[in-house]
Amino acid sequence: MPPKELISAAAIAKRVAELAREIDAGIPPGPLTVVGVLRGAFIFMADLVRALPREMTCDFLGVRSYGDATVSSGVVEITSDLAAPIAGRHVLLVEDIADTGLTLRYLLDLLSARGPASVHTCVLLSKPSLQKGTAPIDFVGFDAPDKFVVGYGLDAAQVYRNLPYIAVIDP
């Protein structure tokens, strides 16, 4: 049985279009690099950049934060770095979900040290466990429940990324 739907594909599409407008208004003009965090953000980023009507480059960071477990290890490992420098560019960091916010914090510090013109953060989902002050999140798609969610790029032990909607599972 497929996991239980929490956010439909149609609701995601509507919110992604709104988010793109918020982002376009919120990031100043100038060279823009959108950085997706692999692998969870790949589907969200694909939809988001197609809704953003401005010139940009797309790049990716490979990150391992949980291994295949469903609880935070608190350890972030970079498995693949950006392909190009970001000095002098506006950067939009795109992540699938913020739980504690520790992954985002780590990546924000990493990118900020490379001399970008600005770094903004965007997550599709934000959990209630996000500690205030851990990482500033500029653009949020949806508030997520304190449950394990999958689909639309998010996985449980690498499975379910291809679900077109967001679902809740019992890990």
Nearest approach, Cβ of residue 160 and Mg ion (Å): 13
DSSP, collapsed to helix, strand or coil, labels residue 15 as: helix
Cβ contact 136:126 at 8 Å: no
- Catalytic site residue from 47, 59, 99, 143: 99
**Residue closer to ligand IMP (CB basis): 12 or 98:** 98
Residue 154 site contact among Mg ion, ligand IMP, none (CB < 5 to 8 Å, cut-off depends on kind): ligand IMP
Residue 3 site contact among ligand IMP, Mg ion, none (CB < 5 to 8 Å, cut-off depends on kind): none
Residue 72 site contact among Mg ion, ligand IMP, none (CB < 5 to 8 Å, cut-off depends on kind): ligand IMP
The Cβ-side half-sphere exposure at 25, using a 13 Å CA radius, reads 7
Nearest approach, Cβ of residue 39 and Mg ion (Å): 7
**Residue closer to ligand IMP (CB basis): 86 or 102:** 102
Nearest approach, Cβ of residue 40 and Mg ion (Å): 3
| Preceding omega of 39 cis (within 30 degrees of 0) | yes
Helix 42-50 with 9-26: angle, nearest 10 deg:
60
Please, which residues have CB within 8 angstroms of residue 21's CB and are 6 or more apart in sequence?
none
> Does residue 99 have an active-site annotation?
yes
- Binding residues (CB under 5 A) for Mg ion: these are 40
DSSP, collapsed to helix, strand or coil, labels residue 167 as: strand
Active-site residue set = 99
